[in-house]
Structure 1
């Protein structure tokens, strides 16, 4: 597939995440010449214009185009809605239409819709611990108030950064699709009902949620560069279905080996969500011990303390 040449345009002045990401999307499928201006005569002569001048890709009018869930499109969403599937086809021509739809919807939901919401004045709920979002990161490329003649230069830097994020997200989703067959095979051939063993790491979470209808899997084993790892699986509530035993927490090498009786055990994370052993048999033994350990039940005092911490953080 060859890229066509297009003259594209958006407004000048302070830039935001929506037109930055829209530019990155267009650059994936076209050879572009970008003009940033508010001059209507200039914009009217361009092939694609967005976030300014009215028209198909300008969301500033009264009659906004809305998603089914009620989130209005910004120029980013409008451009993605029109050209997103072509971007994915350029990325990997072997994908079928169902896979393209799956990736398209994933990018829209996980990347584009948040940009659209914030640009349209819809504030996304603040977490207890503030997190940077893609909109603030891209807007942060604007030149400082005392910097002159850097607007277009910084815009281009922001577009380059946005393109890396877009491509990473698409590549990740393609890798999830390609890993599904491997995950299904590991799930169906497991020797311990609660444990899925992968011969090497691949993104398994999404596929496992789909195939493990009875929520049997508690742990996943996979080989890293130096040893084998045992990792917990999170349930629908986002919490580990079963943490690794408390006695293992933060212990390494000989100390962990003495506690577990597994001679080649190497470490257990303080968060009790991952542990390691040199051999496959060693890591399977750690898995068996974890399965045998009784489930923990949060005490009433622990619930009260957790609630109190949340109140303190909010204040």
Structure 2
């Protein structure tokens, strides 16, 4: 028995069987923002990080892929098939009505794992859940809607509206569209090309290899934009949630009706303020009108007083700073307002400044009553 155990302990370990990384498939030809982002998101995960991408519409080639995105006419997460073009497809993100694109499908199934991987948070934590929903609301949903031809506003609400300027050319989807026709981007050299397609790129590097390179540029544009959003929400927006909640709970210390909010450090506050107001349902006369905060965390920093917008994306303030103060600076502003240490008030009245916290508080106290 001892001899048998010794023999077992000294026998060589079995050789590890080498496995190929999973092959990802998507369509070739004209590409869009949704599959460009979907491919990037998959490759953020360790399972897919070394994966080769096959760009083709050939069903026989796609059948050999581990994961297929935005092509194939099939949505089956169990088989790693993530297409949304079939007539019967109607999947949406939880509590949303926008039909998903390939970006939304990949995010729905892998988003939490990606967020946990990039942030170090527990995949089951509340923080990951909050970030997962936030990133969908602020980033992914617009891509889903754009790819599915869903307008931001119902047609009935926009029939009588006309844009003051054209902003369609600066969206990420538009910039990805531009890359389809950017022929200044040449094919990736074969020595560094990790992509493949149904055309032999070694013997025919153009035009398919060049198209694949443009797709990679589009995928990088979408993916790095996503990561910047994730990083900002994780490192700045999410920590600010507790800061804003504490300030919101103490708002009546600054004004009997709770109309003035004060932060000790600058923080992204708008989203959180609207969320807490929505849950607490204050009366119209008790909503926060002004937010006070130092310009920086440096001791002795000047202070800002900012009027709260009527909505998240609005440039209209609930109560702009007084008309008589707008456009004035320094001594002239201090004399007009009766508050020492004033620095400025913007011509639109949405923001102003004072050299001290107490000066900013006094400006807010006077403004709420005017």
TM class by shorter chain equals 0.7 to 0.9
| 2:240 aligned residue | 179
CA contact (8 A) 1:143 1:151 kept: no
- TM-score, normalization by structure 2: 0.71
In structure 2, relative to structure 1, the CA distance for the partners of 1:109 and 1:28 (3 Å cut) is same
2:88, 2:55 → 1: CA distance? Answer: 25
Shift in Å at residue 111 of structure 1?
2.0
Question: RMSD across aligned C-alpha pairs, in angstroms?
Answer: 2.5
Shift in Å at residue 278 of structure 1?
1.5
In structure 2, relative to structure 1, the CA distance for the partners of 1:207 and 1:146 (3 Å cut) is closer
Matched, 1:20 2:36: yes
Shift in Å at residue 5 of structure 1?
4.4
Matched, 1:103 2:135: no
- TM-score, normalization by structure 1: 0.82
Q: Runs of at least 4 residues of structure 1 off by over 6 A?
A: 145-148
Shift in Å at residue 151 of structure 1?
1.9
| 2:151 aligned residue | 123
| 1:71 aligned residue | 98
In structure 2, relative to structure 1, the CA distance for the partners of 1:69 and 1:180 (3 Å cut) is closer
CA contact (8 A) 2:262 2:292 kept: yes
1:192-271 to 2 correspondences below 5 Å = 192-193=254-255, 194-212=259-277, 213=280, 214=282, 215-225=286-296, 226-235=301-310, 238=314, 239-271=316-348
| 1:45 aligned residue | 64
1:75, 1:134 → 2: CA distance? Answer: 16
1:7, 1:170 → 2: CA distance? Answer: 26
CA contact (8 A) 2:182 2:214 kept: no
1:203, 1:33 → 2: CA distance? Answer: 39
What 5-or-longer segments of structure 1 have no aligned partner? 294-315
1:290, 1:70 → 2: CA distance? Answer: 41
Post-superposition CA distance 1:92-141 (Å, at most 9, x none): 23355333222222222322222222222333347734333332222222
Post-superposition CA distance 1:164-221 (Å, at most 9, x none): 2212222333333321222222233343122111111112223223334324321111
SS in 2 for 1:140: helix
CA contact (8 A) 2:112 2:128 kept: yes
2:248, 2:182 → 1: CA distance? Answer: 53
Tell me the number of residue pairs that the alignment of Structure 1 and Structure 2 aligns. 290
Shift in Å at residue 229 of structure 1?
0.6
| 1:80 aligned residue | 107
Shift in Å at residue 281 of structure 1?
1.6
| 2:6 aligned residue | none
The structure 2 residue matched to 1:62, chosen from 80, 83, 87, is: 87
1:124-203 to 2 correspondences below 5 Å = 124-125=152-153, 128-129=163-164, 130-132=166-168, 133-144=171-182, 149=207, 150-174=210-234, 175-190=236-251, 191-193=253-255, 194-203=259-268
1:280, 1:48 → 2: CA distance? Answer: 57
Which stretch of structure 1 is more off in the superposition, 207-216 or 70-79? 207-216
2:268, 2:91 → 1: CA distance? Answer: 32
What 5-or-longer segments of structure 2 have no aligned partner? 1-19, 75-80, 186-205
SS in 2 for 1:241: coil
Larger Rg: 2
